[in-house]
Amino acid sequence: MTLEQLWQAALGEIELTLSKAHFHTWLKNTTIVAQENGVVLVSCPNGFTKEWLENKYNKLILHALRNVSEDTREVRYVIGKEAVLTPSPAARRRRELLVSPPMEEQLDFKELAVDPNTNLNPKYTFESFVVGSFNELAHAAAQAVLKNPGTTYNPLFVYGGVGLGKTHLLQATGNAVVSQHKSLAIKYVTADRLANEIVSSILGGSIDQLKNDYRRIDLLIVDDAQFLSGKEKVQEEVFHTFNVLYQKNKQIIFSSDRPPKAIPTLTERLRSRFEGGMVADISYPDFETRLAIVKAKAREKELALDAEAAAYIATHFQKNIRELEGALNRVASQVRVSRQSPTAAYVQKYLASIINEPRKNTSPKQVIKAVAEFYDLSERDLIERGRKKEIVHPRQIAMFLLREELKNSYPFIGMKLGGRDHTTVMHAYDKISKEFEENENLRREIHLIKERIYNV
């Protein structure tokens, strides 16, 4: 007989001797949590119930239990975990609508949505993750990790551009592991935050504590690993923690905006470890996938978007899913105010201001600065006479970008970059242009630099 059956049987007898009101007041939400050597442990929802059962109903309960299970000698009572009522998402949404006017516009503390134990945000799930050719490798790898954490692909390294769903994938994996492997200790952390934690614990003298905390984790997820760049002490700690976890077959997942090779000033030993498991990339979604994303998001927001309008949005936001979602949010809130159904013309009208946003102005200075930062060089290195390979390539990229983005003349570019001859610049531009066509990695690099230039 299971504990539940035992308790149900006993309750059936108790119910006969009590009034309905008493029975409901004092015995609902009680369970048997343990039975050992004739001692039965009953869990009560609160202190009042515990006192009452102990002092008033103990004899009755003991008697009832003895009738079912003869060797019961004693009943003890504990305050159990309160049944935490988690309303269904639908109920929650309804409630929020009731409580507040359209809340889309009222910003909230994002940090509060995260689970304090794992740092994961429950809103990221695999159900809301749209898979297409651009991310199926990364998705499949994450699924494999979910099935066998720590053995199949360890570490998993996911990289891809801004706003393409790296964080979503990582967090969804974490959340899925939480629900499927309840006993595992999981921690999601951004490299930036990890670095801050390490630095402040070194200052505060609690580094050993931090190390121990991290070494107890079964699944460690480090987001935006490119921020480890240039932080040697932090890299050292990450390296040691990595080794400890890896040797114990604990799963580690990293993400970054570029492949391990392209992260500047990453120590060789850490780089080789990043590359030691599975490296999966997320590229740009094709039109069909973008359309699927628009439709999925519109359904989530209960926005009735017609096919033409959806196609319009999918066509105009190609390189960043986050921006695409932002555009959808804008349409959704506009629709709520105006109460019109969103046709293509309507969508076009309201998104015109974002889509036709004039290209932000930039300057040669900003371009040079962004390139130098990206490759972790100083601006002087780019301008001075060095001919080392590590410097020549970035310098050529800078020339290419100045030509492409600002349409500067070759002599002007040469002058800006340390008084070089215009033929040098022409050569560099031709070389990078050609490579740009052929080399996917270079395209990605240049795209990232452009993001830096325009996102300052």
Partner 1 sequence: MRFTCLQENLQNALSVVERIAGRNAALPILSAVLISTHQNRLQFVATDLELGATTWCAGKLEGEGRLALPMRLITQFVSNFIPQTKLQLDFNPPHLTVTTENSKATFRGLDTKDFPIIPAFTPLHAVTVPVKTLLHGLGQVLPAVATHEARPEINGVLFAISKNELKLAATDTFRLAEKIITTQAPDDNVSRAARVIVPHRTLHEVVRIFSAGTEDIHIDVGEHQLCFHTPTAQLISRLIAGEYPNYAAIIPTKFQNNTVVASKAFAGLVRGAAIFATKLNDIHVGIETSKRAVRVSAVDPDKGDHTATAPAEISGEPLEASFNYRYLLDGIEAIPTDNLEFAATSASTPAVIKPRGDPSFIYVIMPIRRS
Residues that bind partner 1 (CB under 8 A): 20-22, 24-25, 46-52, 55-56, 79, 81-82, 84-85, 87, 92, 95-96, 99, 101-102, 104-109, 111-114, 116-117, 333
- CB of 111: closest distance to partner 1 in angstroms? 5
For residue 159, the tally of other CB atoms under 10 A from its CB is 24
Query: Which residue, 54 or 306, has its beta carbon nearer to partner 1?
Result: 54
Whether 324 contacts 312, CB under 8 Å:
no
Query: Which residue, 71 or 105, has its beta carbon nearer to partner 1?
Result: 105
Query: Which residue, 106 or 455, has its beta carbon nearer to partner 1?
Result: 106
- CB of 238: closest distance to partner 1 in angstroms? 21
d(CA 55, CA 46): 14
Whether 241 contacts 212, CB under 8 Å:
no
Query: Which residue, 193 or 450, has its beta carbon nearer to partner 1?
Result: 193
- CB of 356: closest distance to partner 1 in angstroms? 18
- CB of 153: closest distance to partner 1 in angstroms? 31
Query: Which residue, 54 or 286, has its beta carbon nearer to partner 1?
Result: 54
SS (H, E, C) 155-221: CEEEEECCCCCHHHHHHHHHHHHHHHCCCCCEEEEEHHHHHHHHHHHHHHCCHHHHHHHHHCCCEEE
3-state secondary structure of 40: strand
Which residue type sits at 437?
A: E
From the list 171, 173, 172, the residue with the least C-alpha distance to 152 is 173
d(CA 365, CA 371): 10
3-state secondary structure of 438: helix
| Residue tagged 């809130």 (tokens) | 333
Query: Which residue, 88 or 361, has its beta carbon nearer to partner 1?
Result: 88
- CB of 334: closest distance to partner 1 in angstroms? 8
Q: 337: phi > 0 → left, psi -120 to 50 → alpha, else beta; which?
A: alpha
Q: What is the DSSP string of 128-152?
A: T----TTTHHHHHHHHHHHHSTTTS
- CB of 191: closest distance to partner 1 in angstroms? 16
Query: Which residue, 117 or 265, has its beta carbon nearer to partner 1?
Result: 117
Query: Which residue, 79 or 345, has its beta carbon nearer to partner 1?
Result: 79
- CB of 61: closest distance to partner 1 in angstroms? 16
- CB of 279: closest distance to partner 1 in angstroms? 31
Whether 354 contacts 347, CB under 8 Å:
no
